[in-house]
C-alpha cells in the first residue's frame, strides 16, 4: 500500500539544480531601540518649549512681526488677567459655567444610564425605542441650542439642558451596549437558582453594566462643558462663554485670551477630577 507512494516520491527528485536566488550578504544588526529620557528631562523639555513659545510671541508682537491688535501679546494678557480677577466678573463667570457643566453632566449621565438600563426590562420596548435614540444621536444637538434657549430662557437651566442633550444619548447608548453584553449564562444561572427579575437586575445587570457607564464619564464632562459654552454664546448674562463672545465683539482680544485660558484651566481641572473618580470607581467595580 505504501510502496507506490514511496516510488513516486523517489521518481520526482528535488530541483537541486535550480539556480539559488541571489541574496545579499547577511549583515548582523542590533534590535533598534530608542533610549528613553527620564521623566524630569521630558518635563524640562516641555517647560522650555512652552516658555520659548510665549517669549517668541511676546517678541514678535513687540517687534511688530505680528499685529498685536489681533494677536495680543502675553504681557498684555497677563495684565488683563489680573484685572479680570480683581475687578471683573471672573468668579461669577467661572462659577456659572462650572455649575451649568456639572449639573448637565450629572443629570445627563444619570438619565442616560437609567434609560440604557431600562432597556434590559423589555426587549420589545428596547426594539421600539432604539431607532429614536439612534436618530436623536445623529442630530447635531448643538443645532437645537437656539430652540432650547427659547424654551428654557437665558438663565442657567438652558445651559444645563444643552449639556444634558449632549450627554444623555452617549450614556444611554453605551449603557445599552453594556446591557446587551451581560453574560447570558450568568443570567441563566441566577434564574436556575430561582431569582426574580428584580434580583437579576440588581445583582447581575447593574454591576456588569456599571463599568460601561463609568467609561463614558470623561467624554461626558467634555460634552457638558461644550454644551454650556455654546448656550452662553447664544444668549446669557454670565459665564466664560459669554465673556469670550463679549470680548471678541468689542475687540478686547487680550480678554478673549484670558477667558479661553481660564476656561481651559477649568476644563482640565474637571477632566482630571472625573478621570480620577473614574479610576477609583473602576477599581471597585471591575475585577
Summarize as ranges the residues that interact with other proteins (CB under 8 A). 183, 185-186, 188-195, 199, 203-204, 207, 285-287
Tell me the residue ranges of DSSP E strands in 140-230: none
Closest contact distance (angstroms) between CB of 284 and other proteins is 8
Closest contact distance (angstroms) between CB of 246 and other proteins is 50
Task: Indicate the residue among 158 and 175 with the shorter CB distance to other proteins.
Answer: 175
Residue that the C-alpha cell 430652540 belongs to: 147
Task: Indicate the residue among 64 and 123 with the shorter CB distance to other proteins.
Answer: 123
Which residue from 185, 209, 189 is spatially nearest to 120, judged by alpha carbons?
209
Closest contact distance (angstroms) between CB of 203 and other proteins is 7
Task: Indicate the residue among 189 and 269 with the shorter CB distance to other proteins.
Answer: 189
| C-alpha R_g of the chain | 30
Closest contact distance (angstroms) between CB of 207 and other proteins is 5
What are the CA-CA distances from residue 230 to residues 168, 211, 259 (Å)? 17, 30, 14
> 202: which DSSP letter?
I
Give the span between the Cα atoms of 145 and 33, in whole angstroms: 52
Task: Indicate the residue among 111 and 282 with the shorter CB distance to other proteins.
Answer: 282
Closest contact distance (angstroms) between CB of 214 and other proteins is 13
What angle, rounded to 10 degrees, do the helices at 253-285 and 206-215 form? 160
Which residue from 147, 114, 48, 101 is spatially nearest to 267, judged by alpha carbons?
101
Closest contact distance (angstroms) between CB of 190 and other proteins is 7
Task: Indicate the residue among 111 and 186 with the shorter CB distance to other proteins.
Answer: 186
Closest contact distance (angstroms) between CB of 262 and other proteins is 40
Task: Indicate the residue among 95 and 199 with the shorter CB distance to other proteins.
Answer: 199
Task: Indicate the residue among 279 and 286 with the shorter CB distance to other proteins.
Answer: 286
Give the span between the Cα atoms of 202 and 193, in whole angstroms: 15
DSSP string across 56-114: HHHHHHHHTSS-HHHH--HHHHHHHHHHHHHTSSHHHHHHHHHHHHHHHHHHHHHHHHH
What letters, b where the CB count within 10 A reaches 16 and e where it falls short, cover 2-16? eeeeeeeeeeeeeee
Amino acid at each position: 500500500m505504501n510502496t507506490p507512494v514511496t516510488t513516486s516520491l523517489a521518481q520526482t527528485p528535488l530541483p537541486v539544480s535550480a539556480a539559488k536566488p541571489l541574496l545579499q550578504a547577511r549583515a548582523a544588526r542590533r534590535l533598534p531601540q530608542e533610549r528613553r529620557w527620564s521623566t524630569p528631562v521630558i518635563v524640562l523639555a516641555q517647560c522650555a518649549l512652552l516658555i520659548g513659545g510665549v517669549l517668541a510671541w511676546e517678541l514678535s508682537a513687540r517687534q511688530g512681526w505680528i499685529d498685536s491688535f489681533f494677536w495680543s501679546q502675553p504681557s498684555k494678557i497677563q495684565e488683563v488677567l489680573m484685572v479680570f480677577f480683581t475687578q471683573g466678573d471672573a468668579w461669577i463667570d467661572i462659577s456659572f459655567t462650572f455649575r451649568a457643566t456639572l449639573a448637565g453632566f450629572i443629570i445627563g449621565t444619570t438619565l442616560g444610564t437609567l434609560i440604557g438600563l431600562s432597556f434590559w426590562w423589555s426587549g420589545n420596548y428596547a426594539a421600539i425605542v432604539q431607532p429614536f435614540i439612534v436618530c436623536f444621536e445623529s442630530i447635531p444637538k448643538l443645532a437645537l441650542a437656539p430652540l432650547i434657549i427659547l424654551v428654557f430662557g437665558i438663565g442657567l437651566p438652558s445651559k444645563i439642558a444643552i449639556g444634558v442633550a449632549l450627554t444623555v444619548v452617549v450614556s444611554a447608548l453605551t449603557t445599552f451596549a453594556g446591557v446587551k453584553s451581560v453574560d447570558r449564562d450568568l443570567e441563566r444561572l441566577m434564574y436556575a437558582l430561582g431569582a426574580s427579575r428584580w434580583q437579576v437586575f440588581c445583582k447581575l445587570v447593574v454591576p456588569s453594566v456599571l463599568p460601561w457607564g463609568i467609561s463614558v464619564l470623561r467624554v461626558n464632562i467634555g460634552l457638558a462643558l461644550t454644551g454650556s459654552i455654546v448656550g452662553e454664546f447664544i444668549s446669557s448674562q454670565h459665564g466664560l462663554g459669554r465673556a469670550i463672545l463679549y470680548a471678541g465683539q468689542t475687540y478686547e482680544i487680550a480678554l478673549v485670551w484670558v477667558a479661553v485660558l481660564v476656561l481651559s484651566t477649568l476644563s482640565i481641572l474637571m477632566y482630571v477630577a472625573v478621570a480620577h473618580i473614574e479610576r477609583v470607581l473602576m477599581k471597585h467595580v471591575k475585577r
